[in-house]
A and B are shown apart, each in its own frame.
Chain A
Amino acid sequence: MAEEVKAGCARPTGGLVGETVPEEPDEKQIEKRESKRMIQVGKKAPDFAAPGYQNGKFINTKLSDYLGKWVLLCFYPGDFTFV
Chain B
Amino acid sequence: MSIDSMFVHKMWNDKELAKMVDGGVPFPMLSDAGGKVGIAYGVYDEEAGVETRGRFIIDPDGIVQGYEVLTPPVGRNVSETLRQVQAFQLVRDSKGSEATPSGWKPGKMTLKPGPDLVGNVWKEWKTEMAFD
Q: Do A and B bind each other?
A: yes
Instruction: Give the bracket for the number of chain A residues in contact with chain B.
Output: 35 or more
A70 to B24, Cβ gap below 8 A?
A: no
B73 (CB) vs chain A CBs: closest residue = A9
| B40 in complex: contacting residue of A48, A56, A71, CB < 8 Å | A48
B2 to A63, Cβ gap below 8 A?
A: no
Q: Which of B51-59, B96-104, B108-116 contacts A (4 or more CB under 8 A)?
A: B51-59
> Least Cβ distance of A73 to chain B in Å?
4
Interfacial chain A residues near B37, Cβ < 8 Å: 46, 48, 50
By DSSP majority rule, is chain A's interface helix, strand, loop, or mixed? Answer: loop
A72 at the interface (CB under 8 A from B): yes
Instruction: Give the bracket for the number of chain B residues in contact with chain A.
Output: 35 or more
A79 to B50, Cβ gap below 8 A?
A: no
A 52-80 to B, binary, CB cutoff 8 A, 1 in contact else 0: 11111011010110111111111111111
Interfacial chain A residues near B39, Cβ < 8 Å: 35-36
A52 to B29, Cβ gap below 8 A?
A: yes
B6 to A58, Cβ gap below 8 A?
A: yes
Interfacial chain B residues near A17, Cβ < 8 Å: none
B51 to A76, Cβ gap below 8 A?
A: yes
B48 at the interface (CB under 8 A from A): yes
A11 to B72, Cβ gap below 8 A?
A: yes
A16 at the interface (CB under 8 A from B): no
B62 to A75, Cβ gap below 8 A?
A: no
Interfacial chain A residues near B13, Cβ < 8 Å: 53
Chain A positions within 8 Å of B, measured between CB atoms, are: 8-11, 13, 35-48, 50-56, 58-59, 61, 63-64, 66-81, 83
Chain B positions within 8 Å of A, measured between CB atoms, are: 1-4, 6, 8-13, 16, 23-24, 26-32, 36-43, 47-67, 71-76, 81, 85, 88-89
22 A-B residue pairings within 8 Å (CB atoms): A11-B50, A11-B72, A13-B50, A35-B39, A42-B65, A44-B63, A45-B56, A47-B62, A50-B37, A52-B30, A53-B9, A55-B24, A58-B6, A59-B28, A67-B60, A70-B59, A71-B57, A73-B56, A75-B1, A75-B38, A75-B53, A83-B75
